[in-house]
Amino acid sequence: MKFKDMPYQRVDFEQVKVDFNALMEEMKAAKSGEEQFEIHKKYYEIIDHVATMSTIGMIRHDGNTIDEYYEGEKNYYDQIMPMLEDILTKYVIVLYESPYRDYLEDKIGKVAFKNIELKIKSFDEKLIPLMQEENNLTTTYSKLIAGAKIEFNGEVCNISLLRKYLTAEDRDTRKAAWKKLSDFFMDNSKELDEIYDKLVKNRTNQAQVLGYDNFVELGYYRMNRNSYDKDMVKKFRDQVKEYFVPFATKIHDERRKRLKLDELNYYDSDMFFLNGNPAPTGTPEEILEAGKEMYRDLSPETKEFFDFMYENELFDVLGRKNKRAGGYMTYMPDYKAPFIFANFNGTSSDVDVITHECGHAFQGFVVRDFEISEHRDITMETAEIHSMAMEFFTDKYMEKFFGDRANDYRKMHLEDAIIFIPYGCMVDEFQHIVYENPDMSPNDRKEVWNKLEKEYRPHMDYVGDPFFSKGGFWQKQQHIYSMPFYYIDYCLAQTCALQYKTKMDENYDNAWESYLKLCKLSASDFYANMLKEVGLNSPFEEGCMKEIVDKLSKLYF
């Protein structure tokens, strides 16, 4: 079914409550593990329908954030989702405390039961009003960013549409566009500070209600960190500081030389070539058509996947005013259908959608028929491997998108992957500091960001910009507001994707088989175990980052 034809009906929360209460009574009356598992299949049906309807509503809201009907639906889900979380938690506690736990754990998996444990640790019905307030705050942030109206070069742009000017070949144009972006954030800085201050205090309050010192522990539970903790993450970041920051600094200096500049300034941060960054040669429709050709050639599995996506119009990728910024992949279980949301803007990021978001969507498509729904519930550090590695597996097709500048794109893509890891770790450490010190003022937080910039991005020079030079850059990073502690998952995944990059240079087919195996493993085992099974080193292992830097240095320099 084409997405435009999918019917939408608001989830009736009162009916969901009735259904779940009946389900719990059935569970408690069951006389065997086999009987309980059959009852649990009814849970899959209920929750899949709730997920499908709420997801359709979210996509249609994000496509036009001022649509009154779907704005009402978004507000409705902001209110009921915490209450749904309450009823879900009560249900999984019945599962967790089942007298037939051994059978269920063997059937559903140890990972699923570990995740139930984390859900129990991260939720109490006393949190519902706070969670509703948190949802309202993150929605307020998203609407403020989506509603940006930045006049530039004779047109009114939102932030996504401004990007073509932020990466313009002409340096003066870039500088002027970045100034416009800075002005937008400066004009809205007070509101952005207030939103984030309320979010930090809200999340801290939630943690304290549950008996935690601060939000960090609760944040990890909410992210389903089922096999690693903040100390392991810190060791990873320390490896990045020791090995990747110097490596990334060399990459930046190579970029500076290529751009024939005496020094790099912040408005050069996304620029890789003197003649401009490679841009796709086709229209959005031609990019999608080239994507179809690429995935048809890559493997039988990717051919089936992309044909399904294309034929059912499971893309909303054109940039528009009042459209939510950014991009994502989501999934509608009733239709076994992934969906890709993005903002094409005429830059190379348009092609990244066809590689990165399609990596997510491909994995969702591969496991669409899993009987055990929990095996589809991947954690984000695994999910982002699927997307970031797909970017490298599709590198060999870039002539379809960039013509004679395909090699420039490959170089830019690899460099961007390398220099991202320090930035992503900086975002993560920033959040740890903020939530460990929730009473910091907005200015204190900006000072923390400036200090971290010197550690992770020593090349960065804001040349006195009144907003960015005062430590405000992080306010354009949506994850910091909406998805606390998510960002490190990109860094862990990029570490694995870079391993795939070196593996495919040695033997592409073997690397692809490993990747396909990882996609099919999905969430059936813990993170480190799955990496080992497909031949990847865990980013937490001592020496992992050094080995990657050594291999890439030989390839690059």
Q: What is the pLDDT of residue 555?
A: 79
How would residue 74 be classed by pLDDT, with cut points 50, 70 and 90?
A: very high
Of 259-268, 297-306, 321-330, 439-448, which gets the smallest average pLDDT?
Answer: 321-330
Output the pTM of the full model: 0.93
Tell me the DSSP string of 503-544: HHHH-HHHHHHHHHHHHHHTTSS-HHHHHHHTT---TTSTTH
Asked whether residue 301 carries a pLDDT value surpassing 80, the answer given is yes
Q: What is the pLDDT of residue 468?
A: 96
> How far is CA 473 from each of CA 9, 83, 441, 482, rounded to the nearest angstrom?
40, 35, 16, 16
Asked whether residue 456 carries a pLDDT value surpassing 80, the answer given is yes
The closest alpha carbon to 536, from 521, 514, 509, belongs to 514
> In the beta sheet, which residues pair with residue 156?
151
Element (H, E) at 165: helix 159-166
Share of the chain above pLDDT 90, in %: 94
The residue-averaged pLDDT of 468-490 equals 96
The closest alpha carbon to 474, from 201, 105, 261, 189, belongs to 189
- Residue 151, classed as helix, strand or coil, is strand
Domain boundaries, the chain: 3-122
> In the beta sheet, which residues pair with residue 344?
318
Average pLDDT, the chain: 96
> How far is CA 476 from each of CA 343, 423, 541, rounded to the nearest angstrom?
16, 13, 32
Q: 142-163, pLDDT tens digit by residue?
A: 999 989 999 999 999 999 889 9
Q: 382-395, pLDDT tens digit by residue?
A: 999 999 999 999 99
Q: What share of the chain is helix, strand, coil (3-state, %, to 5)?
A: 70, 5, 25
For residue 226, what is the DSSP state?
-
438 exposed, middle or buried (CB, 10 Å; 0-12, 13-18, 19+)?
A: middle
Q: What is the pLDDT of residue 325?
A: 83
Asked whether residue 491 carries a pLDDT value surpassing 90, the answer given is yes
How would residue 320 be classed by pLDDT, with cut points 50, 70 and 90?
A: confident
CA atoms within 13 A on the CB side of 536: 32
Q: What contacts 213, CB < 8 A, 6 or more positions away?
A: 207
The residue-averaged pLDDT of 398-417 equals 97
Answer whether 369's CB lies under 8 Å from 400's CB.
Answer: no
Q: What is the pLDDT of residue 543?
A: 95
Answer whether 368's CB lies under 8 Å from 419's CB.
Answer: no
Q: 96-134, pLDDT tens digit by residue?
A: 999 999 999 999 999 999 999 999 999 999 999 999 999
Asked whether residue 556 carries a pLDDT value surpassing 80, the answer given is no
Our CA dihedral for 111, 112, 113, 116, rounded to 10 degrees, sits at: 120
Q: 344-382, pLDDT tens digit by residue?
A: 988 899 999 999 999 999 999 999 999 999 999 999 999
Exposure b/e, 335-365, CB count within 10 A at least 16 = b: bebbbbbbbbbebbbbbbbbbbbbbbbbbbb
Asked whether residue 319 carries a pLDDT value surpassing 90, the answer given is no
> In the beta sheet, which residues pair with residue 339?
330
Tell me the DSSP string of 357-389: IHHHHHHHHHTTT-S-GGGG---HHHHHHHHHH
For residue 240, what is the DSSP state?
I
Q: What contacts 219, CB < 8 A, 6 or more positions away?
A: 203, 207, 431, 435, 484, 485
The residue-averaged pLDDT of 31-56 equals 97
Q: What is the pLDDT of residue 236?
A: 98
Q: Cα dihedral sign for 445, 451, 454, 455?
A: negative
The residue-averaged pLDDT of 238-259 equals 97
Exposure b/e, 307-327, CB count within 10 A at least 16 = b: ebbeebebbbbebebebbbbb
Angle of CA points 75, 80, 86, to nearest 5°? 155
Q: What is the pLDDT of residue 326?
A: 83
Q: 175-207, pLDDT tens digit by residue?
A: 999 999 999 999 999 999 999 999 999 999 999
Answer whether 445's CB lies under 8 Å from 434's CB.
Answer: yes
Q: What is the pLDDT of residue 131?
A: 96
Answer whether 142's CB lies under 8 Å from 324's CB.
Answer: yes
